[in-house]
Chains A and B, each alone.
Chain A
Amino acid sequence: MSMLSDPALITMLLLAIVLMPLLAAVLLVFFGRRMARPDWLATASIGLGAVIALTLFWQVIVRQGDPEWRWASVEHGLSAAWLAIPLMPLHVGLYLDNLSVIMLTMVTVVATCIFAFSQGYMHGDKNYSRFFAYLSYFCFAMLGLVVVDNLLVLFMFWELVGVGSYLLIGFFHDQPEPPRASLKAFMVNRVGDVLFLLGIIAAWQLFGTLNYHELFERLAAGQFAPQAGRAFPWMSDHGLLTLSGVLIFCGAVSKSAQFPLHTWLPDAMAGPTPVSALIHAATMVAAGVFMVGRMYPYFTPEALAVIAAVGALTALLGATMGLVMWDIKKVLAYSTMSQLGFMMLALGVGGWVAGLFHLITHAFFKACLFLGSGSVIHAVHSQDIREMGGLRRKLPVTYTTFVIATLALAGVPCFAGYYSKDQIVANALAWGLTRGAAHWIPFVFAATGAFMTTFYMLRLVFLTFHGEPRDHHRYEHAHESPPVMTVPLMILATVALLGGGTLNPLPHTEDLWFNRLVPTPESAAAVGLRLEGHSEEMEHFEHVLHTQAHYPAVAVSVVAILLGWVLARAMYLRRTLDPAAVSARFGPLHGLIANRYFLDEIQSCYVVGGVMKLNRALAAFDKGVIDGLVNLTALVARALVVVSRLFDSFVIDGLVNFWRGFVRGLSGVLRLLQTGNARDYLTWTLLCVLILAFYLARGLT
């Protein structure tokens, strides 16, 4: 029996994976304080999800192994009608392909390791259950993001993930830094999200659907919606598609900390280390890359060029800043930023498989590195590497896993990172070869970035774990972490080691399981070429990639790694080169980099400042005009009061007085009848009798 043939079962399993963490989060919010072990509930919810995901992984990847496999719940009639307005009916369903399955597995397994690690790291914290509640909520949002089948619901979960990040960064809310950092993260992400939404709207206008399935079908057929209902009807299909692609990419720019919306990521290190591991290394920042990968057929060559450029710049910038940091977590944060740049670069140059493979492997070893740093911080109660040294003797397991992960990150052959990174470099090289001129930049930046990556990671390792301890007090008290923290490290390091699926340093691309199972989708450029009958351009690129670029790329990578290793060893291990002298040589440049290129200051001055000016202007308008109007109505009301009072005293009272006078007059007249004289009464009676008789007589005749 194949579980894959039962749509109801798949739907249930996917919903279980996504909703179990949500359930755990809700329960923890309400009952967490009263629970004995809230962490077990959370870990169980995500652990079960991991088990289901691994089962799916087994079925889809290992047993079935069909690169073309797709599963959309819409096709099986298992989607929920959400918006039933005729103009834009929206259905929510689930979408699976090999990539999603791998993503799900990665997220759940890494999250499970991190949850387990947190039991040790956050032990004794007074908000223990709340931490796990937030973590579970975040997992729910992230997993939801992976499985949905249309852009709008993706955006919803995108925002939910942002909320989770906000909550978790600002977890230590009584300290001054975390709340500021979480707000900054949220705000910077907001900028990207707005642009993302604009891109989604443009996509809607272009194709009339936001569902992946339908969208990709229409893209493949070049089937655009009529130009009548668009925002910019004068723009061509291609132009609007490019613009929309760039806007959608902007969402990834903020979420995945690309230049220039990267400023929030280093500040986000104010959150607890497990949070940094989960969100800012493995999952949330990866969501941007995942989204770009998912939407790959959507991007025109121009959009892809933008992506490549931004990615390349980010890769280099992040690497330069990682060189000069003294905080473990900051080094790793800039490393993450740089690696994300690599992934975007890969996607931009056409190395779709490379970029996404790197996403998966990076998640594992970066999480391992962050958790390892957490272990170190837990041991020495400091994050500053100037206060460390020689810790490999005290923290052996941590040291070993940390080194393995570092080697994977650097792209040392045979480790998992090598296979993905090597492909990125190869693709960049092919891109440069096929197009020439400015198109060489990604390759140059990638190679330089690889060199720097090795250098700063080894710098970190040497300063932290090797040499003599610089702070003896901390060194004395350092001890290895408990198993609940070291076992996840080991699991992650294992994947970092073996994730390539092979130990062959020079594999054919077909040997790599990822390449085999997750084929590159047809890019918009390719579609365009195909429809015009010029498919040979794409074939040319593929040809160059596989023949000319492959081995040189490997060579360049290895050279970069060696260079980095030699330099780092010289400066930080053997002390043949003095780091202080080197930084003095590069004086102004060093200052610039150490101050993060003043980008934070520029942002806060111009962007935030500009917004604040607008805010003040609007506030003045509100006070002056709106409040003025309100006060005016109050004045009018007061005037009305005066008028009504006058009315009351003159008209109403006048009426009353008139009646008083009238009645008095009338009664005065009538009183004259009462003479007390019987004769007068008789007279009047007689008169009335006469009148009556008169009318009677008239009636008789």
Chain B
Amino acid sequence: MPDVELGVLVQPAAATGLAGSLTSYLFVSALLFLCGLAAILTRRNVLYVLMGVELILNAANLNFVAFGRFGGYGLDGQLTAIFVILLAAAEAAIALAIVLRIFNDFGSIDVTRTDSLRD
């Protein structure tokens, strides 16, 4: 991608303001995390669990990048985020396989049905 085009979007960080403060990013990240958690805990469909996990991972990624940008860590934040994305993708693949297995074995993707661990 030509740098010039992105340069429109990527600007030197302002000393103040929303985009220039770490806390706003942290705020977003926190919200994302909570949404992901809510999705996991409150929905009965196992796919929601998957999606919730993705949201949480994204929240973490945002944290990494934000701190990397504002904490003087160079590109480490971004590189970590890259690896996280990669791993998230891999994990999603496995998760899908598991969901298919659950669907086959339990006949449903309702998490309340998968209670073989029950006493």
Binding site for B on A (CB under 8 A): 671, 674-679, 682-683, 686
Contact = CB atoms under 8 A, between A and B. Distances in A.
B114 A676 contact: yes
A674 B40 contact: no
25 contacts: A671-B119, A674-B117, A674-B118, A674-B119, A675-B115, A675-B118, A676-B114, A676-B115, A676-B116, A676-B117, A676-B119, A677-B112, A677-B114, A677-B115, A677-B118, A678-B111, A678-B114, A678-B117, A679-B111, A679-B112, A682-B40, A682-B41, A683-B41, A686-B37, A686-B41
A679 B114 CA distance: 10
A440 B37 CA distance: 141
Contacts of A674: 117-119
Contacts of B114: 676-678
A683 B40 CA distance: 10
B70 to A, nearest CB: 21
Interface in B40-70: 40-41
A676 B118 contact: yes
For A674, A676, A686, the residue with the greatest tally of chain B CB atoms inside 10 Å of its CB is A676
A676 B119 CA distance: 7
Contacts of A683: 41
Contacts of B40: 679, 682
A679 B42 CA distance: 8
Contacts of A671: 119
B73 to A, nearest CB: 22
A46 to B, nearest CB: 102
Contacts of B118: 674-677
Given A677-B115, A679-B112, A686-B41, 18 more contacts: A671-B119, A674-B119, A676-B114, A676-B115, A676-B118, A676-B119, A677-B111, A677-B114, A677-B118, A678-B111, A678-B114, A679-B40, A679-B41, A679-B111, A682-B40, A682-B41, A683-B41, A686-B37
B115 to A, nearest CB: 3
Listed from nearest, the 6 A-B pairs whose CB atoms lie closest are A676-B118, A676-B115, A674-B119, A676-B117, A671-B119, A677-B115
A143 to B, nearest CB: 100
A357 to B, nearest CB: 118
A678 B109 CA distance: 13
Nearest to A667: B119
Contacts of A675: 115, 118
Interface in B14-46: 37, 40-41
Interface in B88-119: 111-112, 114-119
A676 B37 CA distance: 19
Contacts, number: 29
A684 to B, nearest CB: 11
Contacts of B115: 675-677
A671 B41 CA distance: 21
A677 B118 CA distance: 7
Contacts of B111: 677-679
A25 B101 CA distance: 110
A671 B117 CA distance: 12
Nearest to B116: A676
A548 B118 CA distance: 137
A686 B34 CA distance: 12
Nearest to A671: B119
Contacts of B112: 677, 679
A69 to B, nearest CB: 114
Contacts of A677: 111-112, 114-115, 118
A676 B117 CA distance: 4
Contacts of A686: 37, 41
A675 B117 CA distance: 7
B101 to A, nearest CB: 14
Nearest to A678: B111
A54 B116 CA distance: 119
Contacts of A678: 111, 114, 117
A73 to B, nearest CB: 100
A675 B113 CA distance: 10
A677 B112 CA distance: 6
A671 B118 CA distance: 9
A679 B117 CA distance: 12
A674 B40 CA distance: 19
A86 B41 CA distance: 98
A236 to B, nearest CB: 105
A317 B116 CA distance: 121
Contacts of A679: 40-41, 111-112
A432 B65 CA distance: 150
A25 B114 CA distance: 105
A224 B45 CA distance: 123
Contacts of B41: 679, 682-683, 686
A682 B40 CA distance: 9
A683 B41 CA distance: 7
A389 B39 CA distance: 146
Contacts of A676: 114-119
A678 B116 CA distance: 10
Contacts of B116: 676
Nearest to A670: B119
A678 B46 CA distance: 10
A682 B111 CA distance: 12
A676 B112 CA distance: 8
A38 B2 CA distance: 143
B1 to A, nearest CB: 40
A683 B111 CA distance: 14
A678 B37 CA distance: 13
A68 to B, nearest CB: 116
Nearest to A673: B119
A674 B116 CA distance: 10
A674 B119 CA distance: 6
A678 B99 CA distance: 14
A617 B109 CA distance: 102
A182 B75 CA distance: 127
A436 B92 CA distance: 150
B86 to A, nearest CB: 25
Nearest to A674: B119
A239 B111 CA distance: 120
A683 B37 CA distance: 10
A680 to B, nearest CB: 9
Contacts of B117: 674, 676, 678
A673 to B, nearest CB: 8
A243 to B, nearest CB: 101
Contacts of B37: 686
A605 B35 CA distance: 121
Nearest to B112: A677
Nearest to A672: B119
B116 to A, nearest CB: 6
A497 B112 CA distance: 138
A693 to B, nearest CB: 13
B97 to A, nearest CB: 17
B45 to A, nearest CB: 11
A674 B114 CA distance: 13
B33 to A, nearest CB: 12
